[in-house]
Amino acid sequence: MEATTTYLRHDMDALVDAFAAREPAGLEGAYALWSRELYAVARSALRDGALAEDCVHDALLRVWRAPNRFEGNRPMLRAYLLASVRNEAIAMLRSRSRRDERERKARRLAEAPVDADSVADPVEAARVRDALGRLSQDQRTALEAAFYGYKTHVEIAAALGVPLGTIKSRIASAMRKLSVELAPPESGR
Amino acid sequence: MTGEHLGDEAELFALGALEDAERSAAARHVALCAACRERVAAAELVMASLAAAVPAAEPPASIGRRLRASARGGRPRNAGPFALAATVALAFVGLGSQTLLLSNREAAEDRALATIVSSHFNHVSAVARGDSGVSAKVLYARDGAWIFVIARTHESGTLHAFARTPTADVDLGALATSGETASLLVRPAKPIGTVVIKRGDTEVATATLNY
């Protein structure tokens, strides 16, 4: 499932260099490696195959044409691309929901799809489930509403009846705790 | 905002959980502040893990085609191997001019293309090694029944494709050269995970196949 593990280090460096240099091979190589994850993120947010396709295409093309924050964090290209697709999906969701306020109100607060039959990466999903289980219930609820529910902190605070600052700190502290617990194999670079 | 660090907003920015105005301000700060960029990047690594739990979904092949066309200026036609890959792809949507191109290929390639056209396949660009000057692509059946290696090179010297196994690189055969491009159709006994292209003993490109 995780294609990067079968890639030799210098292959990855060549790919990352090609991506940063805006060579078509960098974009194509990155997409070939991570297409399933990138698409799953967009599909999960947008729940529509055609929108998800546009989302992945537009997001990757944009960051490939203008890689900016990514320059200093080359080993993290995958995470950056996933975040870029997710941001694009969120922008699409919010512009759609502005057009249809009722739909927005009808949507549930958060839905952590960790019980889905088939997840994008079952091994990593199990680690994530364990790590989420070690957060406080308040932290977990707030973080899941943000990550899996695509809500802003204002929306989450309103839904839970909790002050804005409290929600911000719950989400941020949950993320920092997960960052330690989920320290990825590539950390330390 | 641009004068002080983001604090908790770094994680919220990464998550897309800020409101529009806050988000713009945070983006301006992140563009200028290395410390906050690092914090956002750390959050993105966590998010990459969280993303493992979203439902699996098979991406349509059209995304890869669109990306390639966009990256190469909207008309994937100039580079030899990519033109061939694009030809195969476009043949599926029934463009008459592309179908004509197919009929001009040599016999070996005709057989390869007949195999490809009658099956579902994935494709991946090989990562070139150093300054080998070789661009290559591997089309492969989703069930692993065949792989089609296409390479473009400006240098002489026969290219061979190898299947990388834990113990050795297994020679799959020489790529047949025709002008600037060379290609090889292989029907392996079991699916191949990594294809390595070599000129002599020198590795010039590598591709990882996902089934």
Q: State pTM to two decimals.
A: 0.60
ipTM of the shown complex: 0.84
Low-confidence ranges of chain A (pLDDT < 50): 1-7, 69, 72, 102, 105-106, 110-115, 186-189
Structural domains of chain A in order of their starting residue, each with its CATH number: 2-97 (1.10.1740.10), 113-181 (1.10.10.10)
How far lies B33's CA from each of A79, B8, B43, B139, in Å?
19, 15, 16, 43
pLDDT means over runs of 10, chain B (211 residues): 79 95 90 88 93 91 92 53 40 31 45 67 84 84 84 83 86 79 80 90 90 85
Residues of chain A neighbouring B7 (CB-CB closer than 8 A): 172
Mutate to test the interface with B, among A71, A76, A147 (most CBs of B within 10 A): A147
Quick one: tokens of A157? 């605070």
pLDDT score recorded for residue A165: 95
Say what angle helices B34-50 and A164-181 make with each other, to 10 degrees: 70
* B165 vs A149: CA distance, rounded Å: 42
| A79: alpha, beta or left? (left if phi > 0; alpha if psi -120 to 50) | alpha
For residue A115, how many C-alpha atoms fall within 13 Å in the half-sphere facing its CB? 2
Q: Is A49 on the interface with B (CB under 8 A)?
A: yes
Question: Are A153 and B17 inside 8 Å of each other by CB?
Answer: yes
Chain A and chain B share a number of CB contacts under 8 A equal to: 220
Identify all chain B residues contacting A25, using CB atoms and an 8 Å cutoff: 125, 127-128, 135
Residues in A closer than 8 angstroms to B11, CB to CB, are 171-172, 175-176
| Nearest chain B residue to A60, by CA | B67
In this structure, is the dihedral angle defined by the CA atoms of residues A144, A145, A150 and A151, taken in order, positive or negative? negative
Amino acid at A126: A
The CA-atom distances, in angstroms, between A180 and each of A16, A169, B48, B97 are 25, 17, 14, 56
**Contact A121/B at CB under 8 A:** yes
Helix pair B61-71, A49-65: axis angle to 10 deg? 30
Give the model's pLDDT for residue A41: 96
A24 and B64 in contact by Cβ < 8 A?
no
Which chain B residue lies closest to A91 (C-alpha atoms)?
B16
* Residue A37 in contact with partner chain B when CB distance is under 8 A: yes
